[in-house]
Amino acid sequence: MPTRIAIIGGDAAGMSAASRARRQDPTSEITVFEQAGVASYGACGMPYHLDGRIPDPTTLIVRTPAEFAQANIDLQLHSRVVEINTASQYVDVQSTCEKSARPTKHHFDKLLIATGAEAVQPRIAGCDRQNVFLFKTFADMLRIEKYLQKSIVRNVTIVGAGYLGIELAEVLTLRGLQTRLLDLAGTVMSKSLDHDISQLVLQELNSHGVLSILGESLLALNGPSNLVREVVTSHGQWETDLVVIVMGVRPASDLAKRADLALDKFGAIQVNSRQETTQANIWAAGDCTSAMHRISGTPTWIPLGPQANKQGRIAGANMVGQSLEFPGILGTAFVKAFDLHIGRTGLNEAEASAAGLEFTSKTITASDRAPYYPGGGPTTIRLIAEKSTGKLIGGQVIGRAGVPGRTNVIATAMHSHMTVSDLSELDLGYAPPFAPVWDPLIVAANQF
């Protein structure tokens, strides 16, 4: 009898696991349960449907259920796993279409939990009004687009100035809407960037007409009937036609918790580097799990797509008999705010302090290409190094070109424990359209 592999969650981690398991083991039965009506889509592309940059949202779908079926992977949409029975090794699956139908049992030999993350919602009245939206799923995106098309919307309020809030501020402004960006923190991207670096992002947003309301807490969403017309914060209020809530996410680990799997201090499912949970025959991967941070050396919860895919791939291989280990994360991430590109990797100053590291931080601003070559602009680079050893522990890069590449070089250098002195010795390429002869990274490394 073939091994029965069940996977809960049909996005990055789940589908990477399914594909990898199938490649390694042609005979196992692989079933994926996805509660939504769509799976395997590029969630990070969703903001760009709202300004028409990605006109057809179905292009976000990487592989369809039919394509998975061709690979002999049974992807069941509208199928929510409501319970995991670890002793008898089955899951109860409830249709999300026919909610009156009774759950069906599905037995497994091996189970992967890839339930991802779920949106955090404010605990205030008004969140259930018709013009208040989360922006977490494909369905959320479609709902907002539909509302924008059929209603008169002039003013939008975005609650949360993280990556997603910034991307939404860009696309909704470019759609012609007056956009307000609200965050409890005193700046944007407060968790990812150091305060002064985040000011560069804020300037870019403001210069494109985004109104920022920072350091204020959301108190009320008021309105006459089933619509919110007014946002009230600790410092003021304003009119709004639409509210999008992107305050952050948390691990979707309730199902695992109810099945007595251990969670960690982030509320994420506890896994080792082979993505094994505390229960035999059950793996977990992606945003519902933490991962070892390669710099701090401690488990850290940073939900990002690339590691979800990589962890899924590792879990998929291990479920069919391999023994791969996930090497950990650096929290490398990019975001675009209008014409400004932002990259960060490793620890920022606050994270370095929290990790108990004594550090030195140096910041430079230099031309992103040869200064005489047209089209260039300033790139700001912050490097953070451990004080005692000079070991690179983090970097932030902000500019209008070359940002992803320079951020990735810092990540690569940290991967192999380079010092800032090693970084200054790198043989980085040069040509006037792409870099100055002293690359800004080398200039930054030479400051130490």
448 contributes a contact to its own copies by CB under 8 A = no
Backbone angles phi, psi at 446, to 5 degrees: -70, -10
Closest CA to 218 of 200, 239, 232, 204: 232
**Could you confirm whether 44 is annotated as catalytic?**
yes
Tokens standing for residue 335 = 């975001």
376 contributes a contact to its own copies by CB under 8 A = no
- Residue with tokens 């791969």, as numbered in its chain: 324
396 contributes a contact to its own copies by CB under 8 A = no
Based on CB atoms, which residue is closest to its own copies, 116 or 331?
A: 331
Burial 334-370 (b: 16+ CB within 10 A, else e): bbbbbebbbbbbbbbbebbeebebebebbebebbbbb
Supply the DSSP symbol for 402: S
406 contributes a contact to its own copies by CB under 8 A = yes
Tokens standing for residue 408 = 């990735």
2 contributes a contact to its own copies by CB under 8 A = no
Residue 306: count other Cβ atoms within 10 Å of its Cβ: 11
* Binder among 200, 411, 443, 445 for its own copies (CB under 8 A): 411
Based on CB atoms, which residue is closest to its own copies, 306 or 321?
A: 306
* Binder among 147, 238, 334, 448 for its own copies (CB under 8 A): 334
Q: Cβ(428)–Cβ(441) under 8 Å?
A: yes
Q: Cβ(95)–Cβ(79) under 8 Å?
A: yes
Tokens standing for residue 422 = 């090693």
Binders of its own copies among 425-444, rule CB under 8 A?
Answer: 425-435, 437-439, 442
Q: Which of 44, 97, 127, 288 is catalytic?
A: 44
Supply the DSSP symbol for 49: G
294 contributes a contact to its own copies by CB under 8 A = yes
415 contributes a contact to its own copies by CB under 8 A = yes
Query: At its nearest, how many Å lie between its own copies and the CB of residue 403?
Result: 8
* Residues 87-126: x where in contact with its own copies by CB under 8 A, - otherwise, as a string: ----------------------------------------
67 contributes a contact to its own copies by CB under 8 A = no
* Binder among 176, 306, 321, 377 for its own copies (CB under 8 A): 306
Q: Regarding beta strands 90-95 and 230-233, do their DSSP bridges make them parallel or antiparallel, or are they unpaired?
A: unpaired
Count, residues near its own copies per rule CB under 8 A: 64
- Residue with tokens 């004594």, as numbered in its chain: 358
Which residues are designated catalytic? 44
Chain residues in the site for its own copies (CB under 8 A)? 12, 42, 44-45, 48, 53-54, 59-60, 294, 304-307, 309-310, 327-336, 341, 343, 345, 370-374, 402-409, 411-413, 415-416, 418, 422, 425-435, 437-439, 442
